[in-house]
Structure 1
Amino acid sequence: MRSFTYSRAPSIGAATEIAANGAHVIAGGTTLIDLMKIGVMQPEGLVDINGIGELEGYTIEADRMRFGALTKMSTVADDQDVVDAFPALSEALWKAASPQLRNMATLGGNILQRTRCPYFRDTAFAQCNKRNPGSGCAALDGGETNLHAILGGSEACVAMYPGDLAQTLVAFDAEVSTRGPGGTRIIPFAKLHVRPGDDPHTETILEPGEIVTEISLPVIPAMKNSYYLKARDRESYAFASASAAVGVEMDGNIVRDVRIGLGGVASVPWRANEAEDSLRGQPLTEESARNAGRVAFADAEPLEGSSYKIQLGADVVAGALMAVKSRMGGK
């Protein structure tokens, strides 16, 4: 690890000013420090935002949930009000990481975590457009692709977005509040991350010095009937091969509203809009759930090593939907 400067910001304004001059923001550090140790990221400076009171705490209100960016994953996952109001959110956080990591990692840092693509994380591979723009993509040049995206990739990059929390946020119309040198703004979570296109190095629309301050979601009926299902190589906190955050609102035996967010299969947090459309106005049955799974992956573009994710992802979507139906008593 190279030498770097370190400063502790007393306020959001101070943090944005320091970050705008090239320092990287650090909170829990569970991703950044790891990448610094292996040489993937080599910032000249860090600005620590821990202790800024405005970024801590959360509220569960009748019409909206608000989470400060510094709120710990474990704190939210264990909150009974969250479990009751939005079980998929708690489950996504529980399944994301070990207790040690959940106790350190923050919600703001979690949604901005970098890809787990092995070619991005191993500097022995020169070809990585995300780490070394213009160098090529080892995965697309005959490399191993079993961990890569089958949705939202490009001819320059097929790296997968690795998070779990993000699938619940993209499916349920979350927003992120930010503050930067240009002031404050509210960004729909679905627009925060950008697909790789020709420039995989650019992963979000955040400007230099802009810091996520809050994550919020409107409270809707489908949240209460929600579930997060994650398929992975091992049960002990592996990243998803395919996952789905789903929520359903029923009108009798007919689906009034449904939300489906996909993980482990796309370059960004992915909402399966067409799959949702296939279910609205229909009974929730095993047949309709499986059809929604097929629709969710109709436009998938797998490579040889990632083709298994089409069937796996469809099964995960169907399984999550039927789990929600079971929670509702089979209604």
Structure 2
Amino acid sequence: MAVWNPQGVTIPDTPAPQLTLNNGLKIPILGLGTWQAKPGEVGRAVEDALDIGYRHLDCALLYDNEAEIGEAIKKKIAQGVITRRDLFITSKLPPAANDPASVRGTVEISLKALKIQYIDLYLIHCPVSIRKEEWQKLESAERFAKPAHPAQYFNDVDPLTVWKEMENLVDDGLVKSIGLSNFSIPQIQRILDHGRIKPANIQVECHAHFPQDDIWAFCRKNSIILSAYAPIGSPARFGSAGSPGDLLKEPQLTVIGKKHRKTPAQVLLRWLIERDIVALPKSTHQNRLRENFEIFDFKLSQEEMQIINSLQEHGRRLFDFEMWKDAPNYPF
């Protein structure tokens, strides 16, 4: 059921459930991933998502689409569909700004692009630091290739020094919460041991083929919320349907889905949220956005959870950032 505002825009009254971060703030357990959402598509996708009921947007300066996302947010606020307080917006410090001197200026770029006064959650996108002048020489498609001269391409920056600048952003009200992405457990532990503010969130690749049990247990032990990117196994990486490694083609998921009248993707997302993991599926298609949101009207049995857990026997990491393997602080 939904209500209508005077402009005739549908306003959902069933937002996603929320988890409580270790600083007392709330994070919706389902968010919209925006990586690889193309210009001309991402704005429409964000508008559709907000109409459907999404209130968590997972963004990053690295994705080169925050300005269009900001326009969509501004439009939906003007229509009365949302207020800024309804939204939970995540952004991330990119590798080419992963040094203490660049932190504040970079978050200000995202704030301006997104047309907001504060960011709810700001993450260090990865522990690798790339020299800004080297990064800027490259076209977008070249930035994720293995560099010819690693010694001049990478910086050796201690992530802890960057973290201390992130803490200052919280003090000054530019961001509400801070966290990490694509960090290893020892790297996270070092931040916990020496930082002033505890990470509120850790974002990593996480899906049934790669369930990240170690980091999940670590986060639970340390009262940190875990977020999952590629939550349905990034099927676009496998080309044609049924290609080896396509998580959505696991037959057990089809069986479980038929029982609940749900798709394999919905089953995978439900498996994550039942583990109290924030799921961040990406889509720019309205029907899939709606499908991904319709996961709060069923539950998986303990037996079904165990069946999905067993799929990890076939899995492996999809995003290993192999091109940055020669960098100081490479996490994997």
Which bracket does the TM-score occupy, shorter chain normalised? under 0.3
TM-score normalised to structure 2 length: 0.25
Q: Tell me: higher relative CO, structure 1 or 2? Use CA pairs within 8 A at least 6 residues apart.
A: 2
Higher helix share: 2
